[in-house]
Structure 1
Amino acid sequence: MSDDATPAGDARRSRGGRLKLLSLLAITLLAVLLFTAWSQTWFTLTVQGKPFVVGGGVAGGALSALALASLALVAALAIAGPFFRVVLGVLEALLGACVIVVSAFAMANPVVAATSAITKATGVAGPRSVARLVTGSSMTAWPIAAAVLGVVIVLLGLAIAVTARSWPTSGRKYSRSRVVAAEGPGDDTGALDPVREWDAMSEGDDPTRH
C-alpha cells in the first residue's frame, strides 16, 4: 500500500492543502493591503508656502505594478508543480524586496519622489529647482506601512519556497488512474498522455467519485 493511501498520508495531504490555501489567501490579502497603502496620502509638502499633498501613486508609483504581479502569482501557484512553486515563492520574496526598496526611497527622498507632481503643478523643472520650492514636509504612516508589507511579503515568499513541495497536486492521481482504467493496466501510454488527461477532465466527471 502506498504511503499516500494511509491515514498518515491523508493527514499530510490535508495539512498541505490547508497550507496552500492559507498561502494563497495571504498573498491576496497582502496585495490588497499594498493597493490600499499605494492609494493613500504619503506626504504633505510645503511648496511656495502652500500645502502640497503627495499620494502613494506619485511617491511609490511602482507599488501598484508590484501588487498586480503578486496577485498574478496566486493563479500561477494554484496550478504549478512542486518545482515551479519554489521558483514562484522566491519570485514573491523578490517582489517584497522591491516593495521595501520603493517605500524606503520615498521615505528618504520625499521631494525627489514628488518632483514630477510638483513640476506638473508649478511648471518648475529640475530636481534642484524643485527642491528650492519646498520649505517643509511631513510624512504619514502609509509609506511605513508599505515597507512593513514588503517585509511580510518577503517572509511569505520564502515560507512558500520552503513548504510548497508539501502542497497537494490537484487532479494528478485522479487523471492518471482514470485513464489507466479506460485503457487497461498494460497500456502505459494512455496514462501519460496529457491530451487524454485533459479530455477526461473536460468530460465533467467529478474526481471525488473515483
Structure 2
Amino acid sequence: MPARRLKLVTILLGLALAAVGFLASTQTWVAVRASTPEGGTIDVAAAGGVAAPALSALSLAGLALFGAITIAGRAFRVVLGVLEMVLGGCVILSSALSIGDPVSAASSALTKATGVSGDASVQRLVLSHTVTPWPWVALVGGVLGVLLGLAVIVTSGSWPESAKRYQSVRIVDENAPTDPVAAWDTLSVGADPTAPAEASPEGAGESLDPEADDRRPGRTR
C-alpha cells in the first residue's frame, strides 16, 4: 500500500475506533432487576458512561490524538502512537472490569434508583442482571486501539510529511526600493520599482538636454 494511502487509512481507523468508543459509552451495558426497600421490584439500566466512566474521556482523547497525527512530524507521531497504545489499554481495563463485575459497575445507577448505598447493600437488592454486547464492543475497540498505536509507531516513518501552507521566509527583491516615498516617486514617472536596474548604455554620461550641450566649451551649434 502506498505510504500516503497507509497514512490516510490509519487515521480514519483511529477516528472510527474513537467514535465507536464514544458511542458505546452512551449505550446500555448492564440491565439489572432489583428489589426496592419498599418491597417492590425495579429495572435499572446502566449505560457505558456509568459502568465505565472513563470511556467517554478516553474516546475524546483518541479523536484529538488522531487529529493531531494529521499534522505531526515523524518523531511526534511515534509519541502519539505510544499514547494511543496507552489509551487502548485503559479502554480494555475499563471494559474488562465492567464485564467481570457488572453489578458493581451498575451500583451507582442502582443507588440513584433505590436510594440504597454501599456495595454490600446494593448486592443484596439485585435479583438478576444481564450484560449487553456493548462492553464487549468497547473491549474489542481497545484491543484494536493498541494494535493501531503499534502500527503508527512502526509505519509512520514512511508516511509523507504534511505540506506547509505558509513559507517561513519572505522573499524580497533586492533591487526594490525600501523607502516608500522613493517607491511612490518611481511609480509617478512610470517606472517599475521592482524591475532590476539596467546597465547604462554607452554614452549615457552625456546630457540629453541640447541646450546644456550648447553651453559646453568647444561646442558650436
Q: Is 1:24 the counterpart of 2:11 in the alignment?
A: yes
Matched residue, 2:147:
155
Deviations along 1:179-210, whole A, 9 cap, x unmatched? Answer: 59x479xxxxxxxxxxxxxxxxxxxxxxxxxx
Distance in 1 between the 2:166 and 2:129 partners?
A: 61
Q: Is 1:104 the counterpart of 2:96 in the alignment?
A: yes
Distance in 2 between the 1:41 and 1:96 partners?
A: 21
Q: Is 1:38 the counterpart of 2:25 in the alignment?
A: yes
Equivalences for residues 2-21 of structure 1 within 5 A = 15-21=2-8
Deviations along 1:97-137, whole A, 9 cap, x unmatched? Answer: 10000000001111111111111111111111111111211
Matched residue, 1:195:
none
* 8 Å Cα contact 2:52/2:95 also seen in 1: yes
Q: Aligned letter for 2:50? A: V
Distance in 1 between the 2:119 and 2:141 partners?
A: 29
Q: Is 1:121 the counterpart of 2:113 in the alignment?
A: yes
Equivalences for residues 110-189 of structure 1 within 5 A = 110-171=102-163, 175=167, 179=169, 182=171
Give the structure with the higher percent helix.
Answer: 1
Distance in 1 between the 2:61 and 2:140 partners?
A: 18
Q: Aligned letter for 2:11? A: L
Cα drift, residue 51 of structure 1: 2.0
Deviations along 1:120-176, whole A, 9 cap, x unmatched? Answer: 111111111111111211111111111001101110011001111111112359948
Q: Select the structure of larger CA radius of gyration.
A: 2
Matched residue, 1:4:
none
What SS does the corresponding residue of 1:168 show, helix, strand or coil? coil
Matched residue, 1:203:
none
Q: Aligned letter for 2:69? A: L
What SS does the corresponding residue of 2:127 show, helix, strand or coil? strand
What SS does the corresponding residue of 2:130 show, helix, strand or coil? strand
Is the alpha carbon distance of 1:173 and 1:15 closer, same or farther for their aligned partners in structure 2, counting shifts above 3 Å? farther
Q: CA RMSD in A?
A: 2.1
Distance in 2 between the 1:117 and 1:174 partners?
A: 52
Equivalent pairs, count: 168
Q: Aligned letter for 2:6? A: L
TM-score normalised by L of structure 1: 0.74
Matched residue, 2:66:
74
Is the alpha carbon distance of 1:169 and 1:183 closer, same or farther for their aligned partners in structure 2, counting shifts above 3 Å? farther
Distance in 1 between the 2:130 and 2:88 partners?
A: 25
Q: Aligned letter for 1:40? A: Q
